Amino acid sequence: MDDKNAREILQSHGFKITFQRLSILKYLMTHKTHPTAEMIHADLTDISLATIYNTLDKFVDDGIVIVIDTHQDEKRHYDFYGEPHYHIINNVTKEIIDADNFDVEPLFKAAREVSGLNITGFHIEVYGVNPEDAK
């Protein structure tokens, strides 16, 4: 992901473009590892951990990134939400896997019918274990 795309995303969400915001967003756009704030800080050492947390909170509030709170490792993992996808979390290894092979339209339709709301997004986590680990 280039600098221009990250800048456009920040501008479209009304953010002032700063070195820190741009660096953190570009990191999330290019690292599909679902990092924690501490993991981001380990790679972006020129940005304070407090600034990383504050920036991530703003990005989450604005819908640029999502939090994956697995309750498995007691840490918040972050994911840039550029394309609709869901997450599969291995209960044993704690691995978070991106998947996009799910047609969300039936879910949106059902949610609209129940609530009367225009559905604007979703966050789905599916949990599982390897068959060998389930024995």
pLDDT band with cut points at 50, 70 and 90 for residue 32 = confident
What average pLDDT score do residues 22-42 get?
A: 94
pLDDT band with cut points at 50, 70 and 90 for residue 132 = confident
Burial class of residue 53 in the structure, from the number of CB atoms within 10 Å of its CB (0-12 exposed, 13-18 middle, 19+ buried): middle
| Options 3.40.1000, 3.30.70, 2.60.40, 3.30.1490; CATH of 86-128 | 3.30.1490
Distance CA 108, CA 85 (A): 14
Beta bridge partners of 67: 78
**The domain made up of 3-80 is a member of CATH 1.10.10.10:** yes
More confident residue, 55 or 87: 55
Which residues are annotated as part of the binding site for Fe cation? 105
Distance CA 45, CA 113 (A): 48
Give the global pTM: 0.77
Q: Is the per-residue pLDDT at 90 higher than 90?
A: no
Instruction: Tell me the average pLDDT of the chain.
Output: 88
What average pLDDT score do residues 27-49 get?
A: 95
Q: Is the per-residue pLDDT at 59 higher than 90?
A: yes
Q: Which amino acid is at 103?
A: D
Distance CA 44, CA 9 (A): 20
Which residues are annotated as part of the binding site? 105
Q: Is the per-residue pLDDT at 1 higher than 60?
A: no
Would you give the DSSP letter of residue 58?
H
Distance CA 107, CA 4 (A): 34
Distance CA 66, CA 83 (A): 12
Domain boundaries, the chain: 3-80, 86-128
Would you say the CATH fold of 86-128 matches that of 3-80?
no
